[in-house]
Amino acid sequence: MQRLSARDLLERLVSFPTVSRDTNLPLVDWVEGYLASHGIASHRHWHEDGTKAALFAHVGPMEAGGIVLSGHTDVVPVDGQNWTSDPWVVVERDGRLCGRGTCDMKGFDALAIWALVEAKARGVRRPLQLALSYDEEIGCTGAPPMIAAMQAVLPQAAAAIIGEPSRMKAVNGHKGGAGYRVHVKGFEVHSSLLPQGVSAIMEAARLICWFNDRNAENQAKPASAMAALFDPPFTTLHSGMINGGTAHNITAGDCRFVMEFRVVPGESPQDWCTEFEAYVAKVRAAMQAVRPEADIVLERFFDVPPLTPEVSGHAEGLVRRLTGDNATHVVSYGTEAGQFQAAGYSAIVCGPGDIAQAHQVDEYLELSEFQAGLDFMEKLLSELA
Ligand SMILES: [Zn+2]
């Protein structure tokens, strides 16, 4: 297959509607075939249900110490969004490339694939690796098994660049996170007999009040130096969806809600989860003292380590050199960078586009940002040559 421009690659990638709930295999097949046609072997790590795969590849000497460029292949749905043009076709309007995933983050994926093929054609002295994950948008669950599979097959890269949209700034820290789906199981009685029943809604309210209390405490205490880099400069607890109950005069049999922690580096998502689960155990015991059938069932559905700013980190040094950006940037959203860091890579977030565009109707990537990304890749290739 002829060598494609980064722009052509972007158009190809966007044409695959890789919404997280659907398969990404057509995209992975295509990328694998494209890389193979340029003499680059890829490896897959399969999702356990066989509907998705992550893809990784290596160019250059088979030795450790290279750079890995990493992005996710999945995108958020377009359901209920009123797009001006087909979201799965890249359209150029007003200096912008419009299409689902152009910004988050197929723009970077296209640049990374472009750079890998260029590295193969031009030759590099230090290795360049590509890692494309799935299921990032539903809680960064695809990257950890991909990273483990990659470490089993390829020499370990020294630095990982995760190209989430950062306007090509070097983002060296982000919050971690963890989330639960909570199912509170009450016991239905007529509400006039309240003490004989258990209202799942009212018990859920205790848990949600606990979030409010922790937020107030976190906000009131002085921020650590690390936390002070973030806005807001503390760990937050949030519940974004709830439903339950059947009638005004029946104690609710069921209440379901979701909750998330966004944890500043220096604190551990696991510690927060342990504390929450201890409180849940207390509430559950009180419910079961009234009705043994009552229960609280927790399902942990995401778990993302924070990206902790590194002291003279390799990835940060490299990206600062290539972008000329010497300021400090941290963000409050989670990425796969924390997972790479937890697996022993020096890691940083740097990619084209503005996170404000992510997930939006008429999502776009400015041409100037895409060009800045291309310039970055050119410099990276010179660095590795
Ligand atoms: Zn993303």
Tokens (6 digits) for 355: 């996170």
pLDDT (0 to 100) of residue 130 = 98
Would residue 136 show up in a list of annotated catalytic residues for this protein? yes
| Lowest mean pLDDT across 3-7, 191-195, 289-293, 301-305 | 301-305
* Predicted pLDDT of residue 4: 97
Q: What is the pLDDT, as a whole number, of residue 73?
A: 98
The CA 140 to ligand 1 mean position distance, Å, reads: 9
Alpha-carbon Rg for the chain, nearest whole angstrom, is: 23
- Summarised one tens digit per residue, pLDDT across range 281-328 is 999 999 999 999 999 999 998 889 999 999 889 999 999 999 998 888
What proportion of the chain, given as a percentage, has pLDDT over 70? 100
Nearest to 109, CA basis, from 84, 90, 93? 90
Q: 231-234, long-range: CB within 8 Å, 24+ apart, which pairs?
A: 231/332, 232/332, 233/264, 234/264
The confidence score (pLDDT) of residue 303 equals 87
Q: What is the pTM of this model?
A: 0.88
> What letter does residue 126 receive in the DSSP assignment?
S
Residue 256 pLDDT: 98
Indicate if 74 belongs to the active site.
yes
Instruction: Give the model's pLDDT for residue 331.
Output: 87
User: Which residues lie at CB < 5 A from ion ligand 1?
Assistant: 104-105, 164
* From 32, 74, 104, 369, active-site residue: 74
70 CA distance to ligand 1 centroid (A)? Answer: 11
Distance of CA 204 from the midpoint of ligand 1 (Å): 31
Choosing from 104, 136, 137, 369, which is the catalytic residue?
A: 136
334-349: per-residue pLDDT in tens? Answer: 899 999 999 999 999 9
DSSP assignment letter at 136: -
